[in-house]
């Protein structure tokens, strides 16, 4: 149990540091330690892990700093390295974006439903096209946006503006879950 708690704490600290770098590009390790309340060795070890996993880059000494002594290194998020696919379903259309973890849209696809297309088949098609842009292991997740009221207990849609004939036979949520 103790190991699990330590991993949760470590993951929370990694997220905190990542968010601080996002909020203040070029921040130094020393300022991260001061802002986060973590020790300098802890910050350094966690930042080394983020650099190794290619989420953060150390951009070297900050030349604009006018302090005495060694200039601190700036840290920035690494763009176009890890991604999330966002798929939005709307009436007769599936729109999708490949987003890097810095929030930049890398590629966008709009797919108009036609013939026997279902929302699930169209979602898979746009996902596969976007997946060609990034290696599969670099996609961290898929976000599905469905304009609907959902009964969470039954895991089913009870009201939506989507065209019902395009759901598929098992219900949209179940088929999306199975597809992804």
pLDDT tens string 114-159: 988 999 999 999 999 999 888 777 899 999 999 988 888 887 787 8
Q: Which of 53, 77, 101 is the last residue of a domain?
A: 77
Write down the pTM of the prediction.
0.75
**What share of the chain in percent tops pLDDT 70?**
91
pLDDT of residue 180: 84
Residue closest to 91 by CA, chosen among 156, 145, 161: 161
Q: Does one domain contain both 102 and 160?
A: yes
Q: Does one domain contain both 7 and 48?
A: yes
**Residue 61 predicted with pLDDT over 70:** no
Q: Which of 49, 77, 105 is the last residue of a domain?
A: 77
152: domain CATH number?
3.30.420.40
174 lies in which domain range? 83-179
Q: Does one domain contain both 24 and 93?
A: no
pLDDT, the chain, mean: 88
Q: Distances from the Cα of 51 to the Cαs of 59, 75, 101, 178, in angstroms?
A: 11, 9, 14, 34
Q: Does one domain contain both 90 and 175?
A: yes
Q: What is the domain count for the chain?
A: 2
The residue assigned the tokens 């304009």 is 147
**Residue 62 predicted with pLDDT over 60:** no
Q: Does one domain contain both 65 and 91?
A: no
């Amino acid at each position: 149990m103790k190991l699990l708690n330590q991993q949760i704490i470590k993951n929370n600290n990694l997220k905190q540091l990542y968010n601080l770098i996002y909020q203040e590009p070029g921040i130094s390790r020393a300022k991260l330690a001061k802002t986060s309340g973590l020790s300098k060795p802890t910050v350094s070890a966690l930042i080394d892990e983020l650099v190794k996993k290619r989420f953060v880059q150390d951009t070297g000494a900050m030349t604009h700093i006018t302090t005495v002594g060694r200039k601190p290194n700036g840290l920035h998020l690494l763009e176009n390295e890890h991604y999330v696919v966002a798929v939005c379903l709307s009436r007769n259309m599936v729109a999708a974006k490949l987003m890097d973890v810095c929030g930049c849209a890398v590629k966008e696809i709009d797919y108009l439903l036609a013939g026997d297309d279902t929302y699930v088949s169209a979602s898979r098609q746009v996902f596969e096209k976007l997946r060609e842009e990034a290696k599969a292991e670099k996609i961290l997740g898929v976000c599905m946006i469905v304009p609907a009221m959902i009964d969470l207990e039954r895991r089913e849609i009870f009201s939506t503006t989507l065209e019902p004939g395009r759901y598929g036979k098992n219900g949209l949520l179940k088929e999306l879950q199975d597809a992804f």
